Amino acid sequence: MNFKDNKAIYLQIADRIGDDVLSGKLAVEAKIPSVREMAAQIEVNANTVARTYEYLQQSGIIYTKRGLGYYVAPDARDTIVRMRREQLMQGEMDYFLGQLKAVGITPADLAKLYQAYLEK
């Protein structure tokens, strides 16, 4: 897995797991790899994966079955969507809208661009 410098690795791993849930690659109640298995797959320290799993568990995206491992929570998809919407609206959207204004893209232009994107 390739990591970016602008975000903690454990959060990037959490984002990847979230992407897999949203895409359906990881289904509700699906077992996810153990900490060691995931660490070996993506070539990171097991402590980093443990931190990721702890974060996802505290967020309500995964849960543990004692002695059996980690599983995708029943409402994981809704939780991920809600969290990502909040992140987008709190930080990234303000910057994005400022850039649109700076380069003169109107709401009508944006609507056309977004519609074209959805039709891809």
Contact 61, 74 (CB under 8 A): no
Q: What is the pLDDT of residue 2?
A: 83
Task: Indicate the DSSP class of residue 87.
Answer: H
Mean pLDDT, the chain, integer: 95
Token pair 């990847």 is at which residue?
A: 16
Of 69, 73, 38, which Cα lies nearest the Cα of 58? 73
Contact 53, 94 (CB under 8 A): no
Run of H or E including 69: strand 69-72
- Asked whether residue 104 carries a pLDDT value surpassing 90, the answer given is yes
More confident residue, 81 or 3: 81
Write the pLDDT tens digit of every residue in 53-101. Answer: 999 999 999 999 999 999 999 999 999 999 999 988 887 888 889 999 9
Q: What is the pLDDT of residue 94?
A: 86
pTM of this structure: 0.81
How crowded is residue 26: how many other Cβ atoms within 10 Å of its Cβ?
Answer: 21
